[in-house]
Amino acid sequence: MNANDIAGELAGRHIVLGLTGGVAAFKSAEFCRLLTKAGATVQVVMTDSASQFMTPVTMQALSGRPVYCSQWDARPDNNMAHINLSRDADAIVVAPASADFIAQLAQGRANELLALLCLARPIGRAPLLIAPAMNREMWAHPATQRNVRQIAADGAQVLAVASGDQACGEFGDGRMLEAGELFEELIAHLAPKTLVGQHVLVTAGPTFEAIDPVRGITNHSSGKMGFAIARAACEAGADVTLVAGPVHLPTPRGVRRVDVVSARQMHQASVDIARSASVFIATAAVADWRPASEAEHKIKKDGSGEVPQLAFIENPDILAEIAQSPRARAGDLYCVGFAAESENLEANAQAKRARKGVPLLVANIGPATFGRDDNALLLVDDEGVIELSRASKRMLAQQLVAEIAGRVSGAAA
């Protein structure tokens, strides 16, 4: 995870990071580093068993703050570390959380500082995220599963476990999430839930129109903007489906992904999913034309110097078709278009918005953004033009999702 991508994400946030005994504690060191890179203040609290796997000195170096290990720590003036630590927290994350620690929480026991501060936390103000880490048999044991259900019912957010090789040599469920995944889960948990109840459809990336089995027509779109929008919409509480052209990007956590190649495949998938969506964000750079026919075999040079003549036909206009659908016309589907231009940005964006019949058109200069991690956007609607200054695509996606949420909630009201 690039430090530039997360800079400022958690500025002003105070996170309590709890470590219990487990080999996965080494991932917590990287997680702590990501939190501080994102601008958070991190207070580490460790159990005695955690200190067998990771030293407090290491965690102090990474967090920049003294580590708390004992409920009898005399540093607080009031001798109430469990109260002070939980009251200052914007979130408490226990990673790794052992089977024993989860059992303590389920039973309401508090014989160590970390369990004590979890029990003493203001439930309505300080969310508790639990990242389990244990052997596959321990994770599958009925007692562990019963305890997990209990702490979830008591208000904890129990994160998923991963499957894979385990330190004991076995393979299966029970691995703690990686540091980057933990970071994304925390960001999503803290994000304002402005799109709860919405089903958002996002298209992203280029399409590929085959000429023959080995050649085709495509463009420079990386899909980064669309993937960032899908992630931001999911963090805002939406149910998100991402229709992706041929790109090499990881699927954002919590997002359903449908992979396609050609414009016709993207058209079919988008039309089908739009029947149940409430917001459609057409970020993909869809090819306007495709070869009229695809050669069965590779077209080869024959030495004659003659150049093959290609005929083209127009691809379906996905955005225009969905924007003019009965659901969109009735106000049940809010459509957002994207325009990648090379000149006259505002004029071309206004013209495209009118031509497509969408309430909001987002424009950018394509050659200045394809493949890059930053962008600048121009939002065009009935009210005029809003400029989103150059920033990371991650930040722009969050700003755009906030703009869309405001328009959707306003329309619903």
Contact 80, 71 (CB under 8 A): no
Distance CA 69, CA 50 (A): 9
Specify the 3-state DSSP secondary structure of 234.
helix
Spatial CA neighbour of 219 closest among 161, 275, 285: 285
Specify the 3-state DSSP secondary structure of 382.
coil
**Tokens read off for 314:** 């127009």
Distance CA 82, CA 95 (A): 18
Contact 90, 59 (CB under 8 A): no
Q: Which residues are catalytic?
A: 168
Neighbours of 134 (CB within 10 A): 27
The beta-strand segments (E) located in 21-167 are 41-46, 91-97, 128-132, 157-158, 162-165
Distance CA 348, CA 306 (A): 38
